[in-house]
Amino acid sequence: MEVARNVLLTFTRPGQEVRRRGSGFHLRGNLVLTADHCADGQDYEVWHSGEVLAGRVAWRSGDENVDLALLEVDGLPEVEPVSLAALDTAAGGVLDDCTCGCYPSFGRLDPLTPGESSGPDRLVPLTGNLLLDSAHVARIPDGWVRDGRVALSLTSDRSLLPDVRGAAHEVTEAWSAASGGAVLVTVGGRQFCVGVISARQVKETPTALRVAGFDLLDRLDPDSAAGFWDRIGASGLAGLATVGGTVRAEQVVVGQIPRRAPGYVDRDVTAGLMERIVGSGTVTLVSLAGLRGVGKSQAAGDVARHCAQHGWPVVAWVNTETRDSAVSDLRLLAERLGAVVQGEPPEDSIQRLYSLWASNRTTRRLVVFDNLADQHDLDGFIPPEKLGRCDRDHGRPIHRHRRCP
């Protein structure tokens, strides 16, 4: 990533004194690529390599669903143009090892006061994988991957990212001004820009950012889209290279993983659980016990969402309120994984599933048994101990017990 190409934008909106902020990318000549919702202001100041340059809106889509815009900025240095590429969302898959530079609020070095510009804040370099189709939507909640829209599933070092233990509005605000940062990918030794960050991160999607790709321009009126293509010297979407992702095996996510409750505050148990389950190189059996309402499901849910969002092939949330509900969920899991013979008792299907797991010791799997009052209530349905004797991680059950006061 070329730091000199990433810029910080500050601007005002009519009737407002506080300068808003956004990110941008020096594409070519005097053009800076950014998001449309960062181009609805005036009095633009563009921070580039310690200098403050005047900017103005050259083109914007004017459509919240096509979140792309261009600014003209005088005084930018000469650079080699970066080629744009369209994303092959029809073929889908995952586009690995993407990068993005942006200026989110959690990277600020200088507090903003009304009527003043923020200083040249810290550039936050992000890495991640672009999810290009709905087959991978289980990794990103809230339906972000659909209708041609894609999401960047972050793989960045967590030390670079904000703490997500605050209130929802605090987490959302921490990511404000990341919008407009360009997403880059290198294919065959050549670098392409494939879109910009469109929506900030929220508490329910702690490892994802929505991305607006250039294929969305086909949704605009042809005359409006032509304004973009003319400025960057391209004939249209058909004139761009197309990059696609690797289609991975289908991810199986079974059960109702609970959403993070509003106002939930992470506890030490969550970090410890994450380390034992995600960081371990062997099978891990973890039991969480406590009174109802202390956050056991929330802690286990955080781990389950993390595993789903990071591509674990199997993530299952088993409701053990009753034996029947547990058997039903496990039988569904066995069916999704091809371990069911029609007409046989569900107990046989579940045991066949565990036998298949024992013969494949390289696939990562997470199974959460929620609301389990007594482990013996599910004798015969919890993965046997022999699954734990292996060299790599292939199955990690969590038992979440309840205690009545």
Number of domains in the chain: 2
Q: In whole angstroms, give the CA distance from residue 108 to residue 309.
A: 28
Question: Do residues 57 and 100 touch, judged by C-beta distance below 8 A?
Answer: no
Q: CATH number, domain at 229? A: 2.40.10.120
Q: Which of 31-45, 260-274, 378-392 has the lowest mean pLDDT?
A: 378-392
Same domain, 168 and 111: yes
pLDDT by residue (tens digit) across 40-98? 999 999 999 889 999 999 999 999 889 999 999 999 999 999 999 998 877 667 888 89
Within 8 A by CB and 6+ apart from 160, the residues are 124, 125, 126
Residues of the chain with pLDDT > 70: what percent?
70
Looking at residue 379, what is its pLDDT? 78
Question: Do residues 399 and 288 touch, judged by C-beta distance below 8 A?
Answer: yes
Which runs of consecutive H residues, i.e. helices, occur in 160-315?
Answer: 168-174, 222-232, 268-278, 296-309
| Domain end (from 211, 243, 275) | 243
Q: In whole angstroms, give the CA distance from residue 235 to residue 213.
A: 17
pLDDT by residue (tens digit) across 212-246? 999 999 999 999 999 999 999 998 988 898 888 76
Looking at residue 22, what is its pLDDT? 94
Q: In whole angstroms, give the CA distance from residue 215 to residue 227.
A: 15
Does residue 43 sit within a domain? yes
Give, in degrees to the nearest 5, the angle at Cα 329 between 257 and 331: 145
Q: In whole angstroms, give the CA distance from residue 270 to residue 274.
A: 6
Question: Do residues 41 and 54 touch, judged by C-beta distance below 8 A?
Answer: no
Looking at residue 231, what is its pLDDT? 95
Confidence bin at 305 (pLDDT 50/70/90): confident
Looking at residue 362, what is its pLDDT? 64
Confidence bin at 361 (pLDDT 50/70/90): low
Same domain, 277 and 183: no
Query: What's the average model confidence in pLDDT over 351-375?
Result: 80
Same domain, 304 and 212: no
Does residue 28 sit within a domain? yes
- pLDDT averaged over every residue in the chain: 77
Looking at residue 39, what is its pLDDT? 95
Q: CATH number, domain at 304? A: 3.40.50.300
Check residues 386 and 248 and name the one with the higher pLDDT.
Answer: 248
Same domain, 334 and 227: no
Q: In whole angstroms, give the CA distance from residue 332 to residue 255.
A: 9
Residue 201 has pLDDT above 70, yes or no: no
Same domain, 204 and 332: no
| Domain end (from 190, 219, 243) | 243
| Domain end (from 215, 243, 271) | 243
Strand partners, 124: 102
Domain with 279, as residue range(s), is 252-400
pLDDT by residue (tens digit) across 306-351? 777 677 888 888 888 888 888 888 988 888 888 887 788 888 888 8
Same domain, 282 and 388: yes
Does residue 320 sit within a domain? yes
Question: Do residues 44 and 60 touch, judged by C-beta distance below 8 A?
Answer: no
Does residue 133 sit within a domain? yes
Same domain, 234 and 302: no
Same domain, 110 and 80: yes
Cα dihedral angle (185, 125, 128, 61), rounded to 10 degrees?
A: -60
Cα dihedral angle (191, 101, 8, 225), rounded to 10 degrees?
A: 50
Coil, strand or helix at 398? strand
Question: Do residues 177 and 206 touch, judged by C-beta distance below 8 A?
Answer: no
Same domain, 58 and 114: yes
Report residue 330 as tokens.
């496990």
Looking at residue 199, what is its pLDDT? 78
Same domain, 274 and 361: yes
Same domain, 16 and 75: yes
Query: What's the average model confidence in pLDDT over 92-113?
Result: 77
Same domain, 238 and 272: no
Q: In whole angstroms, give the CA distance from residue 267 to residue 80.
A: 48
Residue 148 has pLDDT above 90, yes or no: no
Looking at residue 69, what is its pLDDT? 98
Does residue 405 sit within a domain? no
